[in-house]
Structure formats: C-alpha cells, structure tokens
Copies of this chain bind each other. A is one copy, B any other.
Amino acid sequence: MKLYDLPASPNARRVRIFLAEKGLEIPKEEVDLSSGYHHTPEYLSKNILGRMPVLELADGSTISESQAICRYLEEIYPEPPLMGQTPLERAHIEMWNRRMELELLIPLMHAFVHGHPMWKGIRDQVPDYVPVCEKHASRSLGWLETALEGREYIAAPVYSVADITAQCAILMGKAVGVRPTEDQENINAWWARVTSRPSARA
C-alpha cells in the first residue's frame, strides 16, 4: 500500500491520523502541486478528480475519498476499531462523522477557498459566501458544545473517526479565524483530550 499525500490538506490529514491510530506505517508520496502531476493522465487514472489523498493497493487498484480509504483500512486492520463495533454504534459514528464533515469541516474549507488570496484565479471565489460559511460553522460549534455535555468523545464512548474529522475541522477553523469560544468548555476539554494523542501530530 502507498498513500498519495498532501501534507496541508485536511482530508489527507484525516487519513494520516487514522493510519497513526491503527499503528500503520505505509509509504507516502507527497504530491507537489506545483509540478502539476495531479493533472496528468497517470494521476487522473488513480483519481479522476485529481485530488489527494489516494490509497494505492499492491495490485495497483486505487481508492480515493478520505472516508472510503478509512473504511477500507478499518476492514483490513480492524484493531483498534475507529468506526464502531455494533450496527447502531457504526451508524452513530457515521452520523457524527458526516455532521462534523458537512456542517463543520466543509463550511470552513469553503470559507478558506472563497476568502483566501492563495485560491484567487484557481477557484471561482465568491467573497459574500465567506461570512455565510463562517456563521454556519459557528452555529455547528454551538450544537456540538451541547452534544458534548457529559461525553468524552463525539460519537461513542471511545475515540472514533468522527473525532478525527472534527479535529481536522477545528484546525481548518484556526486557519480562517473561526474558533471555539472560551466558554465552549466541552469542546475545549475535548480538544485538549484528542490533541494529547500522539496521532494528532500525524
């Protein structure tokens, strides 16, 4: 196995933390965006969207989309479980993982893409969309604070992929200036808890 990686990408980070939690070390090839390799037919045959991360298996077949890669790894390397151990637990972890992705990480990524000068000329930027995304993410932090009351982790009694996605979202939020407030004590305690894990540096 080999991972086509992009160190700054929140989605690639999700996979790297997942691998670290599984105790897996696999070769990583950092794709240099300035080389344009991700636009070549060779790379597009690995991922038609030309994005990272991509997991390449020994037989040359590839899996893209961070969550699909994590699911494959979970099946092949089930210990420690990061996606649940019963049908209901798996469903709740998927539910929370999606909430953290769709309601927190993606709005924050959109705030970045539509607002940051590095994307000028690369993506169609709509500056008026930035505050809408920021408000969306702030509102999500609001109900996340409520949901975390009395809980150590987001989706289950144990650390799971939903925590990983939320961690990557909070990091993205720091880049665009949307952070948990000081009085969001549950989120702040959770953040201290998850970032104390060695995998947080992956």
A interface list, Cβ under 8 A from B: 48-49, 57, 61, 63-65, 67-69, 71-72, 75-76, 87-88, 90-92, 94-95, 98-99, 102-103, 106, 124, 126, 128-129, 132, 135, 143, 146-147
Contacts and interface: CB of A to CB of B under 8 A. Distances in A.
Contacts of A88: 57, 61, 63, 72
Contacts of A91: 63, 68-69, 71-72
Contacts of A49: 99, 103, 143
Given A67-B98, A75-B90, A126-B126, 20 more contacts: A48-B143, A48-B146, A49-B99, A57-B88, A63-B95, A64-B95, A65-B95, A65-B99, A68-B91, A68-B94, A68-B95, A69-B91, A71-B90, A71-B91, A72-B87, A72-B91, A75-B87, A76-B87, A128-B128, A128-B129
A95 to B, nearest CB: 4
Copies, count = 2
27 contacts: A48-B143, A49-B99, A49-B103, A49-B143, A57-B88, A63-B91, A63-B92, A64-B95, A65-B95, A65-B98, A65-B99, A68-B91, A68-B92, A71-B90, A72-B87, A72-B88, A72-B90, A72-B91, A75-B90, A76-B87, A102-B106, A124-B132, A124-B135, A126-B126, A126-B128, A128-B128, A129-B129
